[in-house]
Chain A
């Protein structure tokens, strides 16, 4: 059995990034979970990200 499967034999402690529904589902199953307050850089706006890169050099 691969080592990665060991994880299913232990208590899960989850840090969720992104879609909050995954965090809610885990919480509803009494699994310890933390939702990270995170947004993609420049709010996901690639034009703004390019401008930032040029501005900050």
Chain B
């Protein structure tokens, strides 16, 4: 296959994948390769010593949550001891937002790409502010994680099983028609999930009180659906991965220090560069000085043609990430110049239902000098604080240059 044919195949898979939310399970039971002394994290590989503040904070929280450490000090000691292994979520068919920390006991959603037969996994969203994924690890964070494991997870698992599986791609297609970009605006997707799961929650065997609390939690967190959408994107992107000769990007992820990409025809190699720091809007009491560099696996949304690439269809998002609606339109229009397809399923109503720019081609990035534009949450640079705002950021050009150089050096472009 030449590059054009390989890219056509990758673009086809990015568009015709059919992804369903098919279940929930404990990470240790369902995530491939998961074990008790393994902590998964966002972005490309990184060691404990090199992790940024919010990722270290999330690891500390996970070790306390797992009962492996009793406090911050003992968690730090354990993390540095070599007894705990650290690997990217992406190496385990998973994606998680922000620090992206997943540990063995955490409940996860299971997504199935029914067209290509692959699966993807993600943890469950905790809400905004003081959360593990933003590096907070106080008592309230740990208590909520235990409630999610002990009470929310069994209820949701039973409800999803009763549903027989939820067509998540259809839900995202609809949410994009309703003003979501499905990265930093998830109101419509979450509302639709609440509507769909609500009918099955009423049939779950748990007490009314427990079911009610779960429904309130989902209903009270407009971003509840983002993790599931990300896992849908991962299931789509993995289907388009490993096509020899293809220059289409199949993963973009950040660990808070480095931004990394993977390319369909270049195997499991990461191409990394220092992560940029987002600029945007801050919660009261925080400023740009508090922001950590770009972090999280959520750029899997842009990788598959939604999120920042669909901002033109989400006018209200600018009140959360900053900028003007005109900026949002321009971001989307610019992304058509570096992508290979206009998505046949994900459409933008405000652009006369034009398909979203889908399938970043490293050749087009190099040809135009334009890099992917991303919208994102922002974590405080210090461990233990949490979210400070949301904003806009770009992928570093160096990642795309490194990928091109690797392709030439390995002769993978022949």
Contact = CB atoms under 8 A, between A and B. Distances in A.
B405 A51 contact: yes
A48 B366 contact: yes
Interface string B366-400: 11111000000000000000000000000001000
A39 B370 CA distance: 11
A45 B367 contact: no
A-side interface mostly: helix
Contacts of B407: 55
A46 to B, nearest CB: 11
A51 B397 contact: no
B408 A51 contact: yes
A47 B401 contact: yes
A55 B413 CA distance: 6
A56 interface: yes
A48 B404 CA distance: 9
Contacts of A57: 413-414
A15 B176 CA distance: 39
B38 to A, nearest CB: 37
Contacts of B413: 55-57
Contact-size category for B: 10 to 19
A1 B350 CA distance: 56
B363 interface: yes
A45 B400 CA distance: 13
Contact-size category for A: 10 to 19
Given A56-B363, A57-B413, A51 B369 contact: no
Contacts of B363: 52, 55-56
Contacts of B414: 57
A48 B369 contact: yes
Nearest to B408: A54
B369 A42 contact: yes
Contacts of A9: none
Given A48-B397, A51-B401, A55-B413, A42 B367 contact: yes
Interface of B: 247, 363, 366-370, 397, 401, 404-405, 407-408, 413-414
Interface of A: 39, 41-45, 47-49, 51-52, 54-57
